[in-house]
Amino acid sequence: MVHPINEIVERNLGKGKWFQKLHHNSEYSTTRMGKYAMYMTRAILVVVLAVLASYVPGFGVFVSLVGSTVCALISFVLPASFHLVLFGSSLNFWQRALDICILSCGLLFAAYEGGRPELDNQRSS
């Protein structure tokens, strides 16, 4: 889940001259220090998010809500949608039906997880 955030952080760090010098000793090879720098940025990001989650009230409920809906969309809805869009005309009936079933189940999972009563009870307390 942190991978997209990490990509943004690494891309922004990669724009700095000092980081480029540390990370690459030629166009195609990565130095050992560059690898350690990447590992450290990832570790720092995880620690910052853990501290944030510890001190922000209700953060767990928010993450559960967003995580459950987004995970269902990323896992089920988007792959089935992309498959239908890219290969829809060449798919036979059963392949298309399977994609539609997966897409529908993914939307149902996202709606169910997003509106669970347990989350509502936690929000009110």
Higher pLDDT pick, 116 / 26: 116
| Nearest one of 47, 42, 41, 22 to 32, comparing CA atoms | 22
pLDDT at 49: 81
Across the chain, mean pLDDT equals 77
Return d(Cα 18, Cα 52) in angstroms, integer.
Answer: 28
pLDDT at 28: 46
Report how many helices (DSSP H) and strands (DSSP E) the chain contains, helices first. Answer: 7, 0
Confidence of residue 111 (pLDDT cuts 50, 70, 90): confident
pLDDT at 94: 95
Which token pair is 33?
A: 């220090």
pLDDT of 21 above 70: no
User: What pLDDT, in 10s, does the model give residues 28-63?
Assistant: 445 676 677 778 888 888 898 888 888 888 877 777
Which residue's structure tokens are 């997966």?
102
The model carries a pTM of 0.52
pLDDT at 50: 85
- Asked if residues 77 and 110 have their Cβ atoms less than 8 Å apart, the reply is yes
Amino acid at 78: L
pLDDT at 115: 63
User: Residues with Cβ < 8 Å from 87, sequence gap 6 or more?
Assistant: none
